[in-house]
Amino acid sequence: MTKRGGRRKKLNVAREPSGRIQRVTIGTESISILELEAITWKRRQRLRTDEHGNLRVDTNPDISPVEARKQEYGSVISAWLDKSNKAMKRNPGCPHPNAFTQMHYDTAQRFAEIRQRWLAAIDAGRVRSSSEFGGVGGHAPDPFIPSISQAEAKAIADFKAARRAILECGSPLGMMAIETIVIENQDAEDMRGDLRQALNSLARLWKLQAAA
């Protein structure tokens, strides 16, 4: 018997009549039905403390499978913004203690972008051999070109200013909240207030910079 070449066929996977793995599209990403189920399950999990003070992981009843499959639930801050907007629509005249506004969301996104530019800038500053800047190694264009060096210096300065604003926001957990919720995408509900305080401080910083 001749052994068939190619990859081994995946078992227990939903398929179309043609044999192709069934796929769905979320946003612009195409994924298989099995991947969708895994994503749905993961997004519905929550970390909570039980009556004995022990940490437990269980299914969040506030998020249905249909809600969990929406694109915004791939991001903690997107989900918070979505929930906050719905709460505001239901009771527009009432204060919402768990509010997370569009300003908070936009500020968090901007900080994440500044952090990415900072990481790229400090990575470019590492000592390497000259051969790494030829394009093949993936480190072109040459970071010693003045315009690129200036852009990297600005990226570092922008991040330092943002970090200082977070550290001076009044919450000792401000930076931890940013790293945990915005960067690591963890649903740390207990840090929502700390995150808002840090984001408010960033928004004030950028408003002053824009006015200068």
Whole-angstrom Cα Rg for the chain = 23
Candidate from 17-21, 27-31, 38-42 with smallest mean pLDDT: 27-31
> 185 lies in a domain?
yes
> 15 lies in a domain?
no
pLDDT at 137 (0 to 100): 46
Q: Which residue has the tokens 């994924």?
A: 31
Neighbours of 118 (CB within 10 A): 19
In the predicted structure, residue 10 carries a pLDDT above the cut 80 = no
Higher per-residue pLDDT: 94 or 154: 154
Cβ–Cβ under 8 Å, residues 104 and 77:
yes
pLDDT at 73 (0 to 100): 60
> 80 lies in a domain?
no
Report the DSSP beta bridge partners of residue 25: 30
pLDDT at 165 (0 to 100): 97
Kindly report, residue by residue over 71-105, the tens digit of the pLDDT: 556 688 988 888 888 888 888 877 777 889 999 99
pLDDT at 100 (0 to 100): 92
pLDDT at 44 (0 to 100): 65
In the predicted structure, residue 28 carries a pLDDT above the cut 50 = no
158 lies in which domain range? 102-125+135-211
| Domain count within the chain | 2
In the predicted structure, residue 144 carries a pLDDT above the cut 70 = no
Q: Which residue has the tokens 């919402």?
A: 96
Max mean pLDDT among 1-10, 63-72, 131-140 falls in 63-72
Residue 207 to residues 1, 21, 201, Cα–Cα distance (Å): 73, 50, 10
In the predicted structure, residue 48 carries a pLDDT above the cut 60 = yes
> What integer is the mean pLDDT of 168-189?
92
49 and 114, same domain (yes or no): no
Cβ–Cβ under 8 Å, residues 30 and 19:
no
> What integer is the mean pLDDT of 185-211?
94
Cβ–Cβ under 8 Å, residues 21 and 65:
no
Q: Which residue has the tokens 């269980």?
A: 58
73, 90, 111: which is the final residue of a domain? 73
Q: How far apart are CA 131 and CA 110, in angstroms?
A: 34
Q: How far apart are CA 199 and CA 177, in angstroms?
A: 10
- Name the pLDDT band for 111 (thresholds 50, 70, 90): very high
pLDDT at 195 (0 to 100): 96
Candidate from 65-69, 129-133, 172-176 with smallest mean pLDDT: 129-133
pLDDT at 136 (0 to 100): 46
pLDDT at 43 (0 to 100): 60
183 and 117, same domain (yes or no): yes
Helix (H) or strand (E) holding 58, with range, is strand 55-59
> 14 lies in a domain?
no
Phi/psi at 20 (nearest 5 deg)? -70, 140
The residue count for the chain: 212
